[in-house]
Amino acid sequence: MRHFLSTADLTRDTALGLFALAADLKQRRKAGQHSEPLAAKTFALIFEKASLRTRVTFEVGVIQLGGRAVHLVGRDIGLGTRESVPDVARNLSLWVDGIMARVYSHATITALARHATVPVINGLSDLEHPCQALADFFTLWERGLDFGTMRLAWIGDGNNVCHSVMILGALLGASIVVACPPGYEPDAGVQATVRRLGGRLEITEDARAAATGADVLYTDVWTSMGQEAEQEQRLEAFSRYQLNETLVDFAKSSALVMHCLPAHRGEEITDAVLDGKRSIVLEQAENRLHAQKAVMLRLLGGSVDDL
């Protein structure tokens, strides 16, 4: 990989290799083994959107690998306003070894990558959230799930996280079913990509049908950042898509519950499910750190041999 802008940038073997590297990094950290394979390396971290998990896991990840992080707020650097995106990319490439950007428009990420001479990582855009999906499937891989027989049911908005989960699921051979109200389906282009990759994909309006027999139930907020004006409309549209105990009972008794966080408790998911014994949301959150370290290490040419 030169950049990590989409889960479509991966192959099945690349993804599994990143899982193995992330697992090694995680084990070494928990064992108190410290090394600095990215010593003297610096990452620029650009945030147009607010963040908890993305900011902390990238900053801490860079530090744990021996590098340094420079935090840049979009409004301060005037990304695309005060200064064009290509000029920002060209200038940052003179000073840093990698760029992570969490932005509104996916076009911003692709423009950064097109004009940068250093690796660019998509920390979130309106089209995809590849780092989240990588951490999610790493979490399931750690749990020992067989992707080839796994049924993952996405309940709710066909949003950016859903897109990345769909694509990576296709690469890994998982069966993905997305349940959403009319008008909130995943992007048609992303659906085409999934099918081109040979993915087993089903889109339905029936949340119970999607959940039936599922190994994994996944949901996300109904109203994402930038969609606040649509909140009332969305609350009404998604009212039948709450991940609650009744819906969970349609899945396998061993089914796991996922959420990328932050959660709007009482809307897309209930407290009982989010905090219940099936929930692995905190494992997902923890694994953002290790999966992203694996991506940074791989993009900058490092390997487990450097640890």
Active site residue 220: yes
CA atoms within 13 A on the CB side of 213: 7
In the set 102, 106, 115, 163, the catalytic residue is 102
Active site residue 162: no
Active site residue 129: yes
Q: In whole angstroms, give the CA distance from residue 297 to residue 251.
A: 37
- Residue 146 makes CB contacts below 8 A (sequence gap 6+) with none
Counting beta carbons within 10 angstroms of the beta carbon of residue 261, is it exposed (0 to 12), middle (13 to 18) or buried (19 or more)?
Answer: middle
Does residue 219 contact residue 278 with C-beta atoms inside 8 Å? no
In the set 3, 106, 115, 129, the catalytic residue is 129
In the set 260, 284, 290, 292, the catalytic residue is 260
In the set 64, 288, 290, 292, the catalytic residue is 288
In the set 132, 191, 284, 292, the catalytic residue is 132
Nearest CA to 284 out of 274, 296, 272, 271 is that of 274
**Axis-axis angle for helices 85-95, 106-115 (nearest 10):** 50
Name the DSSP class of 254.
Answer: T
Active site residue 292: no
- Residue 187 has φ and ψ, to the nearest 5°, of -50, 135
In the set 97, 136, 215, 220, the catalytic residue is 220
Residues catalogued as catalytic: 102, 129, 132, 220, 260, 288
